[in-house]
Structure 1
């Protein structure tokens, strides 16, 4: 274990890390106050310094970073206004609305949804209003991917490479899927607005968004695989041929290394 003096030095030396990570995350999750993230992160840093064991062979920066990001996740969960019950009610209401819309060929009225669900119209109206302001659930895959991928300040070169691969992978997504991912995560547009623009259901946009994120994760996992030549298991649900076509588009968009990684790994499947 560390001495008191070493523990204090670890805290002082790594306080800028808390501020850096809090700033990076709050810039992406604008509904989370930076000050509250920083406070939670500082407590996590102190806790990490108290529990750190140099004998484990893990750098303190990496150890503390994991603890800090974990505290951020807890803070974001605490700030999430929607309970599991509310989310379940929203999900059920949206599912009924989309089913009726498909059957009727138009958007159903609140009364029609309420009649189908066996509830009063006020409950349906409340659920639909909640759906419009609902944030992404923190237990959804990839919900904290941005936070978990936040770099340390001295990781600029690795970050630059990662961003380049990410942008090329984003550009290679199918056109509609790419538009949805860009609209949600780069332009902060509500899913409802995107659905109305595209003339599709709220759930269809959400599905495309989630699948787009899974494809991006597949691309990053393949490019940054820990063992060269070993193809990571995919997370996306598209067919193997569609995934291969996606990787081929990425390979065609970049330099030699990008092409080598994606084409070599594709041939290994």
Structure 2
């Protein structure tokens, strides 16, 4: 296990990688906010630095990239709206359209696809609409060269604060959310196992994890807000959110505590 200083150095030098991969993933999956991906990626980077073993001979950048993309994939799956039946319908409809398009030498119309499938045109239109917003698979970017040895100047100036705020924000989460975040991102346990341990459904764990990420994002936005009030992403009540911010203030350093005790920017 790396020392704290070594861990911090790994996080600081590779933080730009989180922003790069978040931007790349958001470009393919625009239904997921880029800031939410960045929050998930930052957690993954911290856990990667905690678990990294240099003796294995794998560069940390490559190791962290794999962990970050894995965290993105988990987040995308948890937000996926499509059932197996919907996916099957999408796949069949797209396959028929592609076959007709190839044969006709032009893009097949919805009416032509519907005729070929023996279904109503409205069914095809809906399936093609669903296809346009289906979660995109994250491609392996290992072939791309990403320079992450030297952090960007603006990242260097804020990385220490971000890490400290993030650590305090995780610790201040409601108990069940904190247990889920620590189990998923720090212990790398499968969601199914966590659900069985907590006595809840797989979906309930995923929902709690997503809400925890939104709370973390709101905490980071609150701390780094400049002038106007940041947009709230969490779905908990205003009272529960304020109580969360108070817990951060109670445990954090004076510099951080002052931000979370002060009224939010107007």
Shorter-chain TM-score bucket reads 0.3 to 0.5
TM-score calculated relative to the size of structure 2: 0.47
TM-score calculated relative to the size of structure 1: 0.47
Greater relative CO, 1 or 2 (CA 8 Å, sep 6+): 2
